[in-house]
Structures are given as C-alpha cells and as structure tokens.
C-alpha cells in the first residue's frame, strides 16, 4: 500500500500518513515471537531463513491488528509501554479540538487501524518470494486460523459476561484466542512455506496447542505479578478488567469466607486500589492458585514436547523446539 494511492489533496494524505506512522511505531514494540516461529518452522522444513522474512513481517502486522481490536474491547489504555491506538486517537481528538464524541472517534480509528493492518499483513504474505502453491496453502491456513481467533475473541467477551466460568472455559478461550496463532499457527505457516510433509506438520499442531496454552498461562502470571515497566501496561489491568484467568478462577475457588468475597469483588473493579491489588496477589499465592497455574503450564509443556520427535529428526532443531517450549513458561516478559 502506497500513501500516494490515498490522498489526492494533502489533507487526505495527512490522515493516511498519520495512520501508517502510528502503525509502524506500534509494530516496533513487542517480542516478535510469532515472526520468529515462522522462521523456525521454515528452517525446520529445510528452508533458508531469509526467504521467509516477508511472512514473518506479515504475522507481526496481523498480531498488531488483533491487539488493537482487543484493546478496544478490554478498554486497555497502555500497550507495549505506550498508549493503545484507540487512546492515541482520543488524545488526537483533544489536541485537534475535534467536535464530536472523542470516545467514538478513538474506537473508530482503532477499528480502522486494525482493518488496515489485517490486509497489510495479507498483502505481505501473499507477496513474499516463495513458491506459489505453498504460499496459497499457507495463506488459506492463516485465514482459517484468524477466523478461529475471531471466534475465540467472541467467546472471551461473551464468557466475561457470565456469572460462572469454569477452568475448561478459560482454557478453551486460551486455546482459540491465543494458542492457535501464537505457537502452532506460526510454526505451521513456516513449515507449509518450507514444504514440510503433512505428517510432520500435524505433529507441529499437536506440539503447539498445549504449549500455546502454557504461553497464555505464563502471560496471565506475568500480568498479575510483573511491574508496570516489565509489562508495558498498568499493574492490575487484568484484575480491573475482571479477565478470566486460571489464577482468578482457582483463587476464588480455593479461598474461603471474607477472602473469597474480597476476590469476587476485586475482579472487575475498575477503581481498585494498589493495596487491594497487592492483596489479590497475596491471596493468589496463599490459595495455591499460582502454584496450580505453574504446574498446569509445566504439564502442558511436557505434553507438547512429546511430539518433537515426530516433527523433525534433526537433533539441533529438536533441542531448539524443546528449549523454546521451556522458555514459554520460564520467561519474565
């Protein structure tokens, strides 16, 4: 997409340039985990890392789009240490002394920025210099994956509305919304692009599914216990949002009396104090919810690793896949 396609007069061009620059800046942050996994999948399949750079960029662009739409739904204000996109446009509204509803403007631009990135990503993957049949197969798989993510996101916001959520519900959302496109998805895209056999690719999915869920469990642990600096967003965001995590479900399940009542009230309290956040943390440890999450994540990683021998016989890549799986639950950011 060229900016010159957009504005015939400078005013229109400026809006487009502004959108592109914010998108670029947003993408400069983040772990680049998914892009790296596409490269890994491609290399395991026997490809040359450089050839797949386009596809890696594509998934990072699309990850950014998903975060932008997610942040609107979670009413998040910070992401990657910066204001979320819809918040940025709320601020722009104020700076420019725009006239209409600033909140709707922020939401609207957040939606449009996401839609922009959704198709920037598709353009980039479809344009990469790789065998056409493989590219088509990868793009079809990727499109199906992103539909699952949309269902997963629908599940997530719907479950948030329900009074009673089970552990299975939480794990299902983790699977649909996060796991499939965080670990197994990118690895499989890389593997398809690299021409891996169907049998080995199936093993990648089996490897990625539990490890992707473990990734999210670790994310939720970090979300509750990290500092704002490490996290790039305010402490206690997940509590304020009432986000359905294993830590929440288990802590509430195991807590008794006043503690239980406190936790139920704390989750979803948009104005929770720092002191109460600390108390939620303490109770999460005291009830054993934190240990439960750690153990579950460890088990999921072990489950996933069993499939490594079916993915590749190359011991270097076997080690890489094994270390990667461990890193998913040991990482501190």
- Region 223-282 residues binding its own copies, contact defined as CB under 8 A: 242, 268
If binding is defined by CB under 8 A, does position 111 make contact with its own copies?
yes
Candidate segments 104-112, 243-251, 255-263, 311-319, binder of its own copies by CB under 8 A: 104-112
Q: Are 76 and 90 in contact (CB under 8 A)?
A: no
Is residue 15 involved in binding its own copies (CB under 8 A)? Answer: yes
Q: C-beta of 286: minimal distance to its own copies in Å? A: 27
Rg of the Cα atoms in the chain: 21
Contact 43, 49 (CB under 8 A): yes
Least distance CB 162 / its own copies (angstroms): 8
Told to check if 123 binds its own copies by CB under 8 A, we report yes
Applying CB under 8 A, which part among 118-126, 189-197, 271-279, 302-310 lies near its own copies? 118-126
**Per CB under 8 A, does 323 bind its own copies?**
no
Position among 46, 91, 94, 151 found at the interface with its own copies (CB under 8 A): 151
Site string for its own copies, 17-56 (x = CB under 8 A): --x-------------------------------------
CB 77 within 8 A of CB 90: no
**Residues in region 50-79 near its own copies by CB under 8 A:** 66, 69, 72-73, 75
Burial class (CB in 10 A: 0-12, 13-18, 19+), 43: buried
Q: Is 168 in the site for its own copies (CB under 8 A)?
A: yes
How many residues of this chain bind its own copies (CB under 8 A)? 71
**DSSP, res 288:** T
269 CB-side CA count, 13 A? 15
Of positions 4, 48, 95, 99, contacts its own copies by CB under 8 A: 99
Cβ count within 10 A of residue 22: 19
| 204 binds its own copies, rule: CB under 8 A | no
Q: Where are the beta strands (DSSP E) in 16-119?
A: 78-79, 82-83
Note whether 34 and 59 are within 8 A (CB): yes
CB atoms within 10 A of CB 85: 29
Q: Which residue among 45, 139, 201, 247 contacts its own copies (CB under 8 A)? A: 139
Q: Which of 105, 181, 267, 292 binds its own copies (CB under 8 A)?
A: 105
At residue 78, φ and ψ (nearest 5 deg) are -130, 145
């Amino acid at each position: 997409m060229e900016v010159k396609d957009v504005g015939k007069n400078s005013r229109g061009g400026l809006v487009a340039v502004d959108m592109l620059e914010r998108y670029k800046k947003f993408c400069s942050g983040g772990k680049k985990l998914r892009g790296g996994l596409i490269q890994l999948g491609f290399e395991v399949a026997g490809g040359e890392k450089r050839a797949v750079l386009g596809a890696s960029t594509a998934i990072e662009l699309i990850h950014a789009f998903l975060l932008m739409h997610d942040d609107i739904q979670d009413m998040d204000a910070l992401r990657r240490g910066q204001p979320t996109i819809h918040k940025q446009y709320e601020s722009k509204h104020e700076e420019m002394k725009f006239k209409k509803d600033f909140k709707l403007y922020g939401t609207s631009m957040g939606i449009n920025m996401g839609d922009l990135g959704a198709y920037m990503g598709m353009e980039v993957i479809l344009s990469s210099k790789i065998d056409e049949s493989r590219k088509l197969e990868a793009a079809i798989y990727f499109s199906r994956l992103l539909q699952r993510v949309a269902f997963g996101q629908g599940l997530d916001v719907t479950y948030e509305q329900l009074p009673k959520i089970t552990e299975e519900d939480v794990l299902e959302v983790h699977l649909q919304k996060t796991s499939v496109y965080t670990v197994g998805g990118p690895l499989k895209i890389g593997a398809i692009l690299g021409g891996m056999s169907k049998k080995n690719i199936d093993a990648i999915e089996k490897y990625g599914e539990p490890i992707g869920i473990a990734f999210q469990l670790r994310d939720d642990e970090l979300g509750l216990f990290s500092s704002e600096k490490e996290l790039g967003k305010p402490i206690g965001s997940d509590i304020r949002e009432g986000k359905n995590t294993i830590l929440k479900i288990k802590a509430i399940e195991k807590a008794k009396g006043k503690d239980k009542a406190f936790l139920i009230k704390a989750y979803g309290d948009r104005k929770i104090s720092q002191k109460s956040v600390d108390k939620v943390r303490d109770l999460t440890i005291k009830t054993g919810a934190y240990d439960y999450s750690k153990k579950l994540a460890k088990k999921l990683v072990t489950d996933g690793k069993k499939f490594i021998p079916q993915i590749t016989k190359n011991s270097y890549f076997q080690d890489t896949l094994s270390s990667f799986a461990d890193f998913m639950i040991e990482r501190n950011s």
